[in-house]
């Protein structure tokens, strides 16, 4: 997973994912209502995931099975590092923290019952959305990365399972891939929907439920239901090419958590976050 870019990663986080790179253990957590402490308590550490891209056309890729590690610094460490390097802290409250060093910035913010981490520099924007955690051992994470010119924008939807065995250096192997049947998506699911705009850095979370039969899924509150997830590949489902909707889902290896997206189609990749809703479900 990639959460923040380049120097901002080295300065502001204890460690960052990215093909198995990392740097250190998560500090002790504090107040669970604090946005940064919540990240440390609920989302930091090693994980294994099944992911797919929330995009269409040439950027669409096969589902990925991977593992990584992500550790966050405490608020005190963040503020100390920014101060030492002549940076500026623009916001510091239980719900939000935003700081910058030169042209590199990082922003933590509660979005409804979820969390956004937004990191930007002169070349790139990286955004991670952490949807409300439904199960202690699992989490849904959305990763978005885009160059300054808007090209090669990409959003990934990850159904992640915590794994304490992944070492602090983040080096890990995928191991044996799970065998998941296409029927695993069928049944009743309950969870949250998240919508987010990177332009305004605002969004919301809403309780939703979903019922799937023969890979045809009805999601509460959506007039576009049902969503037909006819294409399947080892733990991921997707709408067929040319469908009136662009949607996909990925499931954890134990089939307890489902992560999903639903987008306007055709999708402008540079506006993936504005044009898509993201979901996390449990049985």
pLDDT (tens digit per residue) in 116-157: 999 999 899 999 999 999 999 999 999 999 887 666 678 899
**Domain limits, the chain:** 6-282
pLDDT tens, 84-124? 999 999 999 999 999 999 999 999 999 999 999 999 998 99
pLDDT value at 24 more than 50: no
SS3 36: helix
Cα separations in angstroms, 271 against 83, 150, 205, 266: 34, 9, 19, 11
Kindly state the DSSP code that residue 82 receives in the 8-state scheme.
Answer: H
- Gyration radius from the chain CA atoms: 18
Q: How do residues 220-262 score in pLDDT, each as one tens digit?
A: 988 777 999 999 998 999 998 777 788 999 999 999 999 999 9
Q: What is the largest CA-CA distance in the chain?
A: 57
pLDDT digits (tens, 9 = 90+) for 260-270: 999 987 777 77
């Amino acid at each position: 997973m990639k959460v923040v870019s380049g120097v901002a990663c080295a300065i502001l986080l204890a460690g960052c994912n990215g093909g198995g790179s990392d740097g250190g253990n998560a500090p002790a957590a504090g107040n669970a209502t604090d946005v940064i402490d919540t990240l440390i308590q609920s989302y930091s550490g090693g994980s294994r995931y099944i992911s797919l891209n929330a995009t269409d056309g040439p950027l669409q890729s096969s589902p990925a099975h991977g593992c990584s590690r992500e550790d966050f610094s405490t608020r005190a460490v963040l503020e100390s590092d920014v101060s030492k390097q002549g940076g500026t802290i623009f916001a510091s409250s239980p719900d939000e923290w935003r700081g910058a060093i030169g042209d590199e910035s990082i922003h933590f913010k509660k979005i409804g019952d979820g969390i956004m981490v937004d990191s930007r520099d002169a070349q790139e924007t990286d955004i991670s959305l952490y949807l409300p955690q439904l199960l202690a051992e699992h989490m849904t994470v959305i990763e978005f990365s885009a160059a300054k010119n808007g090209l090669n924008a990409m959003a990934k939807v990850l159904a992640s399972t915590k794994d304490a065995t992944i070492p602090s250096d983040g080096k890990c192997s995928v191991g044996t891939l799970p065998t998941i049947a296409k029927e695993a998506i069928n049944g009743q699911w309950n969870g949250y929907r998240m919508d987010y705009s990177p332009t305004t850095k605002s969004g919301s979370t809403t309780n939703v439920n979903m019922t799937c039969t023969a890979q045809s899924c009805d999601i509460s509150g959506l007039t576009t239901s049902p969503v037909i997830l006819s294409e399947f590949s080892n733990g991921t489902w997707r709408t067929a090419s040319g469908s009136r909707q662009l949607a996909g889902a990925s499931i954890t290896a134990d089939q307890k958590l489902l992560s999903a997206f639903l987008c306007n189609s055709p999708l402008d990749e540079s506006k993936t976050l504005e044009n898509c809703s993201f979901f996390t479900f449990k049985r």
